[in-house]
Amino acid sequence: MFASDPGRRARSRLSTKSASAKTSIARKAPTPRKPKSKHAAKLALVPAAAEMPDERGGLPPKIARYLATADLPSPCLVVDVDIVAHNFAELAASLPAARIFYAVKANPADEIIARLASMGSCFDTASMGEIDLCLRHGVPADRLSFGNTIKKERDIAEAFAKGVRMFAFDSDAELEKIARVAPASRVYVRVLMQCEGAEWPLSRKFGCEPDMAADLLERARDLGLDPYGVSFHVGSQQTDLTQYDKALEQTVTLFDEMTRRGINLRLVNMGGGFPSRYRTDVPSIAAYGEAIRNALGARFGASQPDVIVEPGRGIVGDAGVIQSEVVLVSQKGGNDTRRWVYLDVGKFHGLAETMDEAIKYRLTTSHDGDATSPVVLAGPTCDSADILYEKADYQLPVSLVSGDKVWILATGAYTTTYSAVAFNGFPPLASVCI
């Protein structure tokens, strides 16, 4: 189903040693702290064991202890599901009037889907594989949205037969498919956005211009579908809180236009964009909630529509750590004196978002505290594209050698699902949820 399934099956190879064992990484674990009291009511479903690092995106204490005692394949992603639950509850507290549709593509691990389903989450799905995954975990079909605007007609028909009634679109041809095999379904149109301020901007692959969106919503009504509302996405890892208001300014104009055409839109799907904390600080989840609430109030006043948000990275990113190993440390000669550090994880093993050095992960090593020098970071494959960071200023300990461990922080999102099946014969990224 997912490219990462073989990697997740690697959990059968995992063994755990005594929980009292101590290693250097365990000693580096931050002091656990409790979730902030102002969210206590909303966090009732979060187990007491949810331990947060001293700083957002740092090494989670429970993962540090697990890494100290577990015999893992390398590389391997470890996700603390309690932190996933904490992040979900914090977002729910920040946006109490919104329905949260977790973006399954960010990390479809069974443990994550099960935990979020138990907390009442809805789910944004991109394929029948993701829909079936959610249904297997007992998620009612009315809590699913088929949010991909590019769907096979037979997949739309299958989703409809299994009870899904909400579909995204951005073209007339897609509308016609939905009308043929999913009659009377709720549909929402995706509108193009500029994505300024996003570290992982979205291309023009998804969405249409606002004028076209208005015509498509009218076309949806004429085809017997229910033109439910408007969707947008301000870009993944969005760090500019004003972008939500800019998107809503455009959205309310479209709402007004549809009212003039006799169509009553009732939904704003605000997509994702909620960030993880990588090398630079990002606003808190609460700050995003406040910005969105204020923007909705300013643009819609008391007549606010149904609101959906589709977090992925912001829910699972900070909850995961990849344990990797140094394969080689070398130099190239000439004027470039930087060391090349090759890891056993690269672009084809879950770090695809290092493309163009867009997402800059934080690293920690077993030699932290030693003298450092500039490095180029690369993966292990025989592909020249498998360079992680060459332009960004990364420095690692001079004492780092082959066989040493390197931990890549905040890698819970878009890693296992971006892992190749067997490029160069390397297995997909293994993962375990704790």
Residues with catalytic roles: 382
For 155, the token pair is: 């997949």
CB neighbour list of residue 171: distance below 8 Å, 6 or more residues apart? 149, 208, 216
409 DSSP β-pair partners: 321
Q: How far apart are CA 51 and CA 61, in angstroms?
A: 6
User: Which long-range contacts (C-beta less than 8 Å, at least 24 apart) are formed by 260-263?
Assistant: 261/214, 261/218, 263/217, 263/218, 263/221, 263/227
Dihedral of CA atoms 285, 289, 295, 301 in degrees, nearest 10, equals 180
Host H or E run for residue 324: strand 320-330
CB neighbour list of residue 229: distance below 8 Å, 6 or more residues apart? 188, 189, 265, 266, 267, 268, 269, 305, 306
Pairing of strands 267-269, 306-309: parallel
**Length of the chain, please?**
434
338 secondary structure, DSSP code: P
Q: Give the Cβ contact number of residue 34 at 10 Å.
A: 11
Nearest CA-CA partner of 148 in 128, 165, 163, 162? 128
Q: Are 197 and 167 in contact (CB under 8 A)?
A: no
